[in-house]
Amino acid sequence: MRVGFIGLGNMGKPMASNVLKAGYETTVHDLQPGPVADMVSMGAEEAASPQEVARVSEMVFTSLPRPSDVEQVVLGEGGVVTGAAPGSLLVDMSTNSPQVIQRIAATAAETGIEVLDAPVTGGIRGAKKASLSIMVGGSEKAFEHCRPVLEAMGSNVYHMGGVGMGNVAKLTNNLLSLTNSLVAMEGMVMGAKAGLDVQKLWNVIHTGSGNSFIFENFFPYIIFKGRWEPPTFPIDLVLKDLGLAVEEAERAGAPVPMARLAIERFKEAVACGLGSKDVGAAITMLEKVAGVEVRVPQP
């Protein structure tokens, strides 16, 4: 099977690498030449446009920052639909709007192209280790056809329902994780301000009921080191994801007051010049008010 991969960013490049390592002939495209060159050095083929990727691929994967990027790459001039053959499959692994991916799927179907949405969670480490959780929306038949390639990228692959339901699951996940991140930051700043050793406090919470994926990963790997750049998840994209989650909640008629509060806090972070920095940098606003830092001396 010939596979195409468009979008070689923080998540896309390691995912595409794992597809290539699994033995699939892989053609790649990205606006940045560096990651493309890296993939070519590993054995991938380079294509000059999304259209060219689609022309040589039975299955095309996209991993892009925003819904508008996906629409342009798939439906725009020189896009995937202009090069893909009838019967081919497009799998969008971006965090997308359910309504946008449903609209893309309807348009692509007019030319005989089937679409799945397959956003992921697990972060850059999960992408590198091929241990991502992948949430897939679309037909059962297309899902089963695609499953072996998805399993080259993730250890937990779930079929969530029709097109768009993968992103409903992903937005729900991100609503939970991103609101939790702010509470975790507040708790650690509170402990530091009271005079606790933050490493000892982390040790306690790590084994207690306050533990979470966010707590496990934000503090030892990002916040304790003050490592805001290069960002694993920039605050600008955090706002995009939370905004999409709130839009979906409104459409469904579900109240999400905590997510709305989180959006306001992250907007404050952007106003403070933190938009391009890692989501963990939001803690610096709390630290400034409290007059403490949640850091651990590095060896």
Residues assigned a catalytic role = 170
Nearest partner of 135 among 116, 156, 118, judged by Cα: 118
How far apart are the C-alpha atoms of 91 and 101, rounded to whole Å? 10
> Are 36 and 88 a contacting pair, CB within 8 Å?
no
CA dist., res. 124 & res. 258, Å (int): 26
Integer Cα distance of 267 and 65 in angstroms: 18
Instruction: Please name which of 153, 160, 148, 158 lies closest in space to residue 131, comparing C-alpha atoms.
Output: 153
Name the residue among 191, 205, 194, 184 with its Cα closest to residue 279: 184
Beta bridge partners of 92: 62, 117
Secondary structure in 3-state letters for 193-233: HCCCCHHHHHHHHHCCCCCCHHHHHHHHHHHCCCCCCCCCC
- Whole-number Å distance between alpha carbons of 47 and 34: 14
Q: Which two tokens stand for residue 227?
A: 């490592």
The answer to whether residues 129 and 140 touch, using CB atoms and an 8 Å cutoff, is: no
